[in-house]
Structure 1
């Protein structure tokens, strides 16, 4: 049976050779990046903000709070990202969100799991939800795909429906920090079944990109209001210089 699966995979790879989800170069197997793209990923390492994970300049104190977190603490307890949101990371995210290129999800998930290896182990994983209207248009939620991969890697339960997006908010893309916060205020709630799943639990919230943290804070606020004890956040990429204002 095992050899039959290997033969089947070999035939499929011959007919539809796996390609790097970032640059399209042929690779040995799906679920990976090519060596060049892997080497160009701007991994986030210490030093970084102890709250939101914003990367600091070399020589800064690891674990200190960045200016934004000192001015206004986010609702989540901590956030970590695997890489900086640069052109290489952007191509992966946009390919996933709008091009349906899901072959990179396992690689993204592994990098995300590595970014939280030293954080307290959560009890349950919850993805940032899409509004039903946008989900119908896109046909899938990229945050849910990443959350499922993380749940498999970390052997943790996943509740993809605990958190609901009750308002179809406009895109956050052109808004500054204050505008983003206003845009998502009250946009999320926890379902009745979700309340039972997260009550007293440490929740790991999963999203693809972190910019100002407005969406994640709104989600964390809803989760804590519904009974979660702590909320950590993990994303694949974070914007290094989020817009102010």
Structure 2
């Protein structure tokens, strides 16, 4: 470590991403916050990534929701349960301008995504409508996708998808209403279509609730010529959380 780096650590000591207490390295969690963060591990639904009871025996398992709802993507994973510290991290990034969350999140997401990745994978974020982008000033899904691409050494296309329809907030809506609201809202950027033809697309979003947004994005990718579509989110809601 250089003297300059040492001086920086003295002036700006590393702090826990969640609680702000001192930690040994930047962009990490302290012991108690790590312990209380609901990382997803073990047996999960192979389609949406939600944790399942039981042990991972190596076979693909599916949750009740994915058994009853037709998903347009083939496989999916998530790094965290959207609960307590998982929810705090997502909201800190999404509404708190906490871009420092992106770096550790990308590490956790890359770990969760390992079963999904192929040499033919193209990473792409779920898009925001331009009016929402003006209000928020950034697309958190694009930040996660770009950081994930760096972590996995995979290509990323930040503007592969466009959101042409300015929809109301999906918060508080049921699954059917969410899907109806997003009908026709997402499409492929025609300037980028050649980049996905015959490719496996990994769609990246911050959180999955009903899967309506990811469904609309996946359908747009398949319509434009993608070979396969898989999904990855920082967090996944779970009914028992």
TM-score by length of 1: 0.90
The 1:38/1:169 distance shift into structure 2, 3 A limit, reads: same
> Larger deviation: 210-219 or 50-59?
50-59
Deviation (angstroms), 1:116: 1.6
SS at match of 2:39: coil
Aligned mate of 1:19, from 15, 30, 43:
15
Aligned mate of 2:28, from 32, 42, 45:
32
Unaligned runs of 5+ in 1: none
The 1:26/1:201 distance shift into structure 2, 3 A limit, reads: same
TM-score by length of 2: 0.92
- Tell me which residue corresponds to 1:108: 105
The 1:101/1:18 distance shift into structure 2, 3 A limit, reads: farther
SS at match of 1:79: strand
Q: Contact 1:52 / 1:80 at 8 angstroms: preserved in 2?
A: yes
The 1:166/1:89 distance shift into structure 2, 3 A limit, reads: same
- Tell me which residue corresponds to 2:124: 126
- Tell me which residue corresponds to 1:70: 67
Q: Contact 1:20 / 1:104 at 8 angstroms: preserved in 2?
A: no
Q: Contact 1:30 / 1:103 at 8 angstroms: preserved in 2?
A: no
- Tell me which residue corresponds to 1:97: 94
* Residues in 2 aligned to 1:59 and 1:229: alpha-carbon distance in whole angstroms: 31
Cα deviations across residues 111-169 of structure 1 (Å, max 9, x unaligned)?
Answer: 11111212341521000111111111111111111111110011111100110011111
Deviation (angstroms), 1:59: 5.7
* Residues in 2 aligned to 1:67 and 1:111: alpha-carbon distance in whole angstroms: 25
4+ residue segments displaced more than 6 Å:
none
Q: Give the number of equivalent residue pairs.
A: 238
Unaligned runs of 5+ in 2: none
* Residues in 1 aligned to 2:180 and 2:8: alpha-carbon distance in whole angstroms: 48
Aligned mate of 1:172, from 170, 173, 182:
170
SS at match of 1:117: helix
- Tell me which residue corresponds to 1:199: 197
CA RMSD of aligned residues (A): 1.9
- Tell me which residue corresponds to 1:41: 37
Q: Contact 1:44 / 1:82 at 8 angstroms: preserved in 2?
A: yes
